[in-house]
Structure 1
C-alpha cells in the first residue's frame, strides 16, 4: 500500500534515480505528464499518437543538448555542404565551356496569337478584351468599313460599326499551346557572334535611342568575358541578352528571314525574361528600367500586344520609383550618370507617346511631368570621349528632334482624339476641328524649320546610298521624315473620319456633312499627298540596290507607316467614289493627286511590303489585307462605270453586283476576328435580293 501511494519521483530501493531531461516536449508540458525527452518524438507522444514538438523557453539557460541530436545535425550539414560543392563545381565547368549569356532557362511561351503589337490590325479570333481607341488604325478601320459597304450599293450584313466610333473594346487572341521550339537555348554563343551583335545594336538601335552608355556597357562585357568566374548581376546579364535580342530582331541582313530572326531573337528574349523575373517588379536599378524599356520596344515587333503595354507600364513605374523624372534626384550623381538617367526617362516618354498613338490609349506620362532639359552631347559630360564623336553628336540631335516632335504628337492625341479616353459626350464642330488642325500644322512647320541642316527631312526624290560614310545620317533623316509625315496624317485624319461617316451613315444630319465636304477638301488633299510621299520613300528605299533596309528604322514601324498610308488612300478613294460628281478634289485641281495616282500609290504600298521583309507573317497579312481592299475597290469602280440607268437612277447589272459583293466578301474574310460579319454567303444573298434588270 505504501508502494502504491509513493510518488513517481521517490527513490526506490530496487531502482535507480529517474534521468533528468533538459526540456520536455510541449504536449507533455501541457498535460503535465512525464516526458523522456526523446527526439524527434517522446515515448508518451508516440504511444498516444500525439504531435510532438520542443519549444525552448526564452528564460531557460544552461540547456543540455543530447549527443545524438548534435550528431544528426552534423550529418545534415555535411550533406548540404557536399551538395553545394557539387553544384559550384558544375557551374564553374559550365561557365568555362559556354557563354554566361546563354544559360538554360525553362521554356517560356509568351505568345498571344496573331495580334500585332503596334495596334494596326487584329488577325485572329478575339478572346480577351482590350481597348483600342480613336487614334489607332483599328478605330480608323471602324469608320472605313461602313463606308465601303455603302458604296458597294449592296446592303451587306454586318457592315455597321463595331461600337462607338471613338473606340471600343476589342479582343486580343488567346495564347496558343506552348511551343516545343527551343531553338538556340542550349547552343553555344561564341564571343565573336556576341561582339558582332553588340556592334550592330550600337550602330542601329543604340543611335536612334541612345539611352545606354556604350563605353560602360562594353567595359562590363569585356570584364565578364575576361573572368567568367566573377559574379555578374542578373539585371545586367538580362540587359545584355535584351541588347542581343534587339540586334537580331532589327537586323538588316538580307539573307536572314523573319522566321530565322524571330527564332533566334526570342531565345535571347526568353533568357532576359527568365533572368529578370525577380527584378521586374522591384525596379531597383537603372539597368532594370533600361531592360524594361528595351523589352517594350522589342515586343512592338512581335504579336504580343497585351504584354507590350504591360511591360511598358512597369518601365514607367520603375522610372518614377528611381526618380528618373526628377532633376533633384540626380544631383548627387556624376555628370555621365545624370545624363543617361535623363536619356532613359526621355526614351520612356517617346515610347509612351508612340504606344498612345498606335494603341489608341491614354498616355501613361502626362505632358506636365516632362520637365527635364533635353539631352546634351555626350562629349560635354565625358571629355575623354574621342571615338565616333560626329556620329554620337548626330544621334543626340536626332533624339532631341524626336522628343520635340512627339511633344506635338501628345498634343495631337489630346486635342484631336480626346486623349484617347473615349469619353467625349459629342463630336466637336467641324470648324473647331479645323481650327485645331491648323494650330497643330503650324507647330509642325515650326518644328521642321528648327531642324539642324544636317537633319533636313529626306524626300522621295532622294535615293541616298546606304553604304556610304553617311549611312547613319541618312537613316536618321529617313526615319524623321516618316515620323513627321505620319504625324501630319494623324493631325488631319479627323476630317477624313468625318467624311467617311458622311459616306457610311448618310441618314445622319446633313448640315454637318455638307460643311465637312465644303471645308474638308484641303485636309483630304493634304492627307493624300502625305500618304503618297510616305509610300514613295519606303518604296524607293526597299527597291534600291544594296542593303536598303539600313536607311529604314525597325521593320515593324516601316510596316506601320506604310500600312497606315495605304489605309488613308483607300479611305480617300472611297470618299471620291461616293462624291464623284460633287466633291471638290477630282475636278481638275492641280494640287490634288488624281484617283489614278492614288490607286497607283496604293498598289506601290503593297509591292513595297512584299520587299520589306522575307517570310514575315505580319507583313504578309497586312499586304494581303490591302490586296483585299484593292480588289473590293476595283469591283465597286467597275460596277459604277457600267451602271444601267433605270427609272432615273443607277442600277447595277448582275455581273457587276456579283463582282462587288464577292470582292467585299473576300475583304471581309481577311477581317477575321474584327467583327465585320462579311462572308461569301451573305454577299451572294445580297445579290439574289437585288432587283437586277
Structure 2
C-alpha cells in the first residue's frame, strides 16, 4: 500500500502562494520564489525594488485567520448581502481592475481551466482554449501557402457551373448580407452577369473574382445538410482561389479602394473560422487601415466615387469597426478602430430588393451603429493600466473602468434594447430586417457580457481580504449585481439561440454564429459555478439547455464536438472542486482559484494574441 507521503510526492510541482513575493501576490501572477528578487520581477527594472517577501510567521497567522473565518460560513444558500460579503470589502471590489481582470473569451477560458486543474492538484496548462469566430477551426484545418506564385494560375479564374454559382450567390444575399450588409446588390449583379457573359467589366476583375470566390466559400458553409468533410473541402477550394487572387501588392502598395476593403472583410469572415489566427488579425487590420486611408471613417465628406459606393460606405465601415472590436476583445488587444464610427444614412438608393421597408432598415441600421459606438467606449474603458500610455505618464484617461462608467454604458445598452420591438419567440422570422434585428439582440446581450465580465471575474475569484464587518457595503451589493446581470445575459444568449435553432429555417443566422454565442454563454455559466452559493440554483437548467443546443450542432464541425467535450469536462471539474472544498481548505487556494480562469480566458496580463510571452502560435492545441 502506498503511504500518504509517497502519494503526495508523486504530484507535479505547483507554485504555492506561500512562496510568492508581495509584488507577484498583488498582481496575481505566478512567482518562482527566488530570493532576493524573483525571476519575474528581475525581468522588469521597476519591479526589482518592490520585490519583497512576507515572513513565514506572518503568513501562517493570516492563513489561520482565513481558515477560521471560512469555517463559520453557513452552508445554506446565502442572501445577496452575505455572499457579497465573502468576496469584497471596499469600493475597489466594484471597480473592474483593468490590469488584473480578464476581459476576453480566450483569457477567461484559460484561467477557469487552469484554476480548476490547480485546485485538483494538476499542473497548470500552457495552452488556451481555441475560441469560435477567432481561431477555432470550425471550417476545418486550412493550410495557407507561405508564398504566392507571381505567375497567375489560370485555375484560379475558373468559375463553378452557372446554376451552382447562382445558388451560392443567392444564399449569400438571403442569409449573410441581411445580417451584415457589405456589398451593393445591383452593381454586384451587373458585374456578375457580365463576367459569365464574358463581357468587359468596369471594376478590377481580379478583386471581383476574389470577392466572388469568398462568397462561394462562405455560402458553401451555410449548407448545413451537406456533410462537413464535403463542405469543408469545397469551401477550402474557393477560399484558396481567392487567397491567390488577392495579391500582396494590391493590399500594401497600390492605392486603396472600397472593393479591397470589402474583399478583406469577407476574407476575415472566413479566416476567423479557421486556425489561422495571424492571417485573421492581419487581414482585418489591413482592411481597417485601408478604410481609414480612403476616408470611410469621415462623415459628411465630398467624394468623387459613384453614388453606388456612397450607399454601402456606412455598412462597410461599420462591419470593419465591429469586427475589429470583437476580434480585439477575443485576443485581449486594444482595438485600432476609432471610438466613434462613421454614422450616416445606410439606405441603398436604387438597389433595394422587393418588399423593402426603408424605414425599418434605417431604424435597424441606426441601432447597429449606436451599438458599435457603445462598444468603442467599452473597449476604451477596459484598456489595461499597464498598457495605457497616458496612465504611464500620469495623465488622466477620458474614460475609466470605474463603477459609474459601467453604469452609464449599461444605461445606454438598456435604452437601446428597450427601443427594439418586443421579442416574440413563436413568430416566424422571414424578412431580412428581422434577421438583422435578431442579430442585434444577440450582440446587445454579448456586449453587456463583455462590459460586466471584469466585475464578474472579480466577484467569482476569492481575494485575500482584511477583517470584514458584519454588514456588507454598497460595493458588495453592486459587485454581486453586476455579476448576476452578466449571468442573466449569458442565459439570454442561450434562450435566443435555442429559439433560432427551433425555427423551420435553421439559416436564420449562420451556424458558426450560433456556436460562438453558445460558447460565450457556457463560459460564463462555468465561471458562475465557482460561486455556487449565489448561482447554483439558477445556472444548472440553463447549462443543460446550452449543452442540448450545442450538441445539435456537432455534425457541422469536429471542432464543435471537441469544444463541447472540453466545456463538459470543465463543468465536471468545477463540481469536483466544490465537493473537495467542503472537506479541506488549502493555504494556496487563492492562487489555485486564480489559475482556474486562464483556460476560459480571464488571465490578468495578456500579450499579443492572448498568450503568455513564452507561448507561441504553434503551442495552441487545435485538437481541443
| TM class by smaller structure | 0.5 to 0.7
SS in 2 for 1:376: coil
State which of 459, 464, 468 in structure 2 corresponds to 1:499.
459
State which of 515, 534, 541 in structure 2 corresponds to 1:600.
541
State how far apart, in whole Å, the 2-side matches of 1:160 and 1:217 are: 47
Distance 1:391 1:355, change over 3 A: farther
SS in 1 for 2:284: helix
Instruction: Quote the residue 2:322 is aligned against.
Output: 350
Distance 1:140 1:216, change over 3 A: same
Q: Which has the larger radius of gyration?
A: 1
- Equivalent pair of 1:135/1:359 in contact (CA under 8 Å): no
State which of 180, 189, 196 in structure 2 corresponds to 1:209.
180
State which of 375, 379, 387 in structure 1 corresponds to 2:345.
375
Distance 1:478 1:329, change over 3 A: closer
1:428-462 alpha-carbon deviations (Å, 9 max, x no partner): 9xx973222211111111222344x4xx5x36xx1
State which of 428, 438, 449 in structure 1 corresponds to 2:407.
438
Distance 1:271 1:510, change over 3 A: farther
- Equivalent pair of 2:522/2:543 in contact (CA under 8 Å): yes
What pairs with 1:84-483 in structure 2 (closer than 5 Å)?
134-145=102-113, 147-148=115-116, 152=119, 154-158=120-124, 189-227=160-198, 233-249=205-221, 251=222, 253-277=223-247, 278-281=249-252, 282-327=254-299, 330-367=302-339, 370=341, 372-378=342-348, 381-382=349-350, 387-390=353-356, 394-418=360-384, 421=387, 433-451=402-420, 453=421, 456=422, 458=423, 462-465=425-428, 470-483=430-443
Q: CA shift at 1:508, angstroms?
A: 6.4
SS in 1 for 2:530: helix
Runs of 5+ in structure 1 lacking a partner?
1-131, 163-169, 586-593, 644-648, 652-659, 676-693
Instruction: Quote the residue 1:551 is aligned against.
Output: 508
State which of 555, 566, 575 in structure 1 corresponds to 2:531.
575
Distance 1:217 1:254, change over 3 A: same
Q: CA shift at 1:629, angstroms?
A: 1.0
Matched, 1:524 2:483: yes
State which of 446, 450, 453 in structure 2 corresponds to 1:486.
446
SS in 1 for 2:555: coil
Matched, 1:635 2:576: yes
State which of 560, 579, 583 in structure 2 corresponds to 1:619.
560
Distance 1:190 1:149, change over 3 A: closer
- Equivalent pair of 1:238/1:272 in contact (CA under 8 Å): yes
SS in 2 for 1:290: helix
TM-score scaled to structure 2, two decimals? 0.66
SS in 2 for 1:367: coil
State how far apart, in whole Å, the 2-side matches of 1:546 and 1:440 are: 36
State how far apart, in whole Å, the 2-side matches of 1:555 and 1:279 are: 32
Query: How big is the alpha-carbon RMSD for the aligned residues of Structure 1 and Structure 2?
Result: 4.1
Q: CA shift at 1:569, angstroms?
A: 1.2
State how far apart, in whole Å, the 2-side matches of 1:192 and 1:161 are: 45
State how far apart, in whole Å, the 1-side matches of 2:385 and 2:194 are: 47
Instruction: Quote the residue 1:533 is aligned against.
Output: 492
Q: CA shift at 1:498, angstroms?
A: 1.0
TM-score scaled to structure 1, two decimals? 0.60
State how far apart, in whole Å, the 2-side matches of 1:223 and 1:175 are: 32
- Equivalent pair of 2:165/2:216 in contact (CA under 8 Å): yes
SS in 2 for 1:366: coil
Distance 1:228 1:536, change over 3 A: same
- Equivalent pair of 1:135/1:413 in contact (CA under 8 Å): no
State how far apart, in whole Å, the 1-side matches of 2:284 and 2:585 are: 53
1:346-393 alpha-carbon deviations (Å, 9 max, x no partner): 22122222222222211112225x3x4423322xx33xx564252666
Q: CA shift at 1:650, angstroms?
A: 7.3
- Equivalent pair of 1:144/1:500 in contact (CA under 8 Å): no
Instruction: Quote the residue 1:688 is aligned against.
Output: none
Where relative contact order (Cα < 8 A, 6+ residues apart) is larger, the structure is 2
State how far apart, in whole Å, the 2-side matches of 1:141 and 1:328 are: 43
SS in 1 for 2:246: helix
- Equivalent pair of 2:179/2:439 in contact (CA under 8 Å): no
State how far apart, in whole Å, the 2-side matches of 1:161 and 1:185 are: 37
State how far apart, in whole Å, the 1-side matches of 2:382 and 2:251 are: 35
Q: CA shift at 1:551, angstroms?
A: 2.2
